[in-house]
Amino acid sequence: MNYIKIKNLGSIDVNELYRKVKEENADKIGCVVSFCGIVRENTRGRITKELHWGMDEDAEDKLRQIAGDESKRDGILNILIYHNIDDLKAQEEVVYILVAAEHRKEGFEALMNIIDRIKDEVHIDMIEKN
């Protein structure tokens, strides 16, 4: 089962994300690996106070496709991708990605593929406000 959201996430209870990704196939899950991307305050000496996020209309469909592709891999059971599209300050969360898998190796490989594919395939506009 895949869970995809693109919206103003507000305050997120990370424990709730873990509970959600473990709901389906609970008897087979051996691990949940996760990634939380945050707004970096200092990028190559440049201070970022805030970023505005924007995405193409088909961004959610692309995230669903990425999750669908990765969930077909052996041992991958559930994937959660929540991406924030709010004005975010330094140190605030941009994206949460959780992968429930039978084994850690498959989970980490899928997680890395998801991160790389989001960067390569999903058009995300970041407007920096210093």
Query: pLDDT tens-digit profile of 79-112?
Result: 999 998 878 888 889 999 999 999 999 999 999 9
Query: What are the backbone dihedrals phi and psi of residue 73, each rounded to the nearest 5 degrees, phi first?
Result: -70, 145
What is the pLDDT, as a whole number, of residue 33? Answer: 99
Q: Check if the beta carbon of residue 79 is closer than 8 Å to that of residue 34.
A: no
* Rounded distance between C-alpha atoms, residue 39 and residue 74, angstroms: 33
**Domain of 86, in residue numbers:** 2-129
CATH number at residue 62: 3.90.1170.40
Confidence band for 130, pLDDT divided at 50, 70 and 90: low
State how many domains the chain has: 1
